[in-house]
Amino acid sequence: MGIGEEFIRKTRYGDPGTTDQMRGIPAPELEPEFSGTIHSLPDPDTGTISRIDLSAAIESRESIRRYSDKPLTLAEVSYLLWCTQGVKWIFDDVTFRTVPSSGARHAIDTYLLVNRVEGLKPGLYRFLALEHALGTILEDEYTSELIERACFDQKFISGSAACFIWVADIYRMTWRYGERGFRDIFLDAGHVCQNLYLSAQAVDSGVCAIGAFRDEEINDLLDLDGEKKFVIYLAAVGKNPEEDSED
């Protein structure tokens, strides 16, 4: 039996076993604590973002790998972060957000590689969803090259205005669902990325999802252990060039 088949077999619903939630262990924190420089983000609903018909956005959705040199504004980044992980309200130990998540666990954190964003220096940041803010991890213009190398040298990463890097915090999911949670968190990543594809059109931007990366290399760059926390998905974002890009 191959690894993939074994994964499906061992994460089937059946006897779920006893999860930490069943044991009465308190739920894990809603997001990791952050100590460092925090950048407040504009209100994502300032009225400055263009409106786009949902049906039109779905029909025109495509992967865009070429971008103009125009930067994203901080308001636009705020909007995209809210559309992909925005917290609508908090109830006890769960958050209700702009994307669905199994059991409202929301076990994915957004890291943002910044290349060209007004008001931010190039480098690596983490989205603090509960505060709707960005925390600085590293200000370094060469970070983009390292992320690009870890993604098999996909050049459009450095050419983008920003690259969303989604990190799974697996215990936030398995606390409730046990091993089944590993399936659920991959589904959650898909929900988040699709919202980015659709919402980016409202800020005249294109998106290209990235599933090909060297796990150990990119986890090391983000100081993740690769088991309890690991990169699960990425997507580059940039302003559309004057002419249409490829699918």
Q: Measuring CA to CA, which residue among 72, 88, 74, 110 is closest to residue 193?
A: 110
Burial of 197 (0-12, 13-18, 19+ CB in 10 A): buried
pLDDT of residue 75 exceeding 50, the answer is: yes
The reported pLDDT for the residue numbered 15 is 66
Q: What is the mean pLDDT of residues 212-217?
A: 98
242 pLDDT band, cuts 50/70/90, is confident
The residues spanned by each domain of the chain are 38-45+53-239
Rounded Cα gap, residues 32 and 107, in angstroms: 11
Instruction: Read off the pLDDT of residues 105-148 as tens digits, 9 standing for 90 and up.
Output: 999 999 999 999 999 999 999 999 999 999 999 999 999 999 99
The strand pairing partners of 18, in sequence order, are none
Rounded Cα gap, residues 64 and 157, in angstroms: 11
Find the farthest-apart pair of alpha carbons in the chain and give their distance in angstroms, rounded.
57
Q: Measuring CA to CA, which residue among 243, 207, 222, 244 is closest to residue 80?
A: 207
Q: In whole numbers, what is the pLDDT of the chain averaged over residues?
A: 94
Rounded Cα gap, residues 113 and 145, in angstroms: 11
The strand pairing partners of 239, in sequence order, are 205
Rounded Cα gap, residues 218 and 242, in angstroms: 32
Rounded Cα gap, residues 164 and 224, in angstroms: 16
| Domain 38-45+53-239 coded CATH 3.30.470.20 | no
The better pLDDT of the pair 245, 201 is held by 201
17 pLDDT band, cuts 50/70/90, is confident
Q: Measuring CA to CA, which residue among 61, 45, 53 is closest to residue 196?
A: 61
Rounded Cα gap, residues 193 and 191, in angstroms: 6
pLDDT of residue 218 exceeding 80, the answer is: yes
Handedness of CA 109, 114, 118, 119 (dihedral sign): positive
Amino acid, res. 19: T
Rounded Cα gap, residues 139 and 178, in angstroms: 37
pTM, two decimal places? 0.95
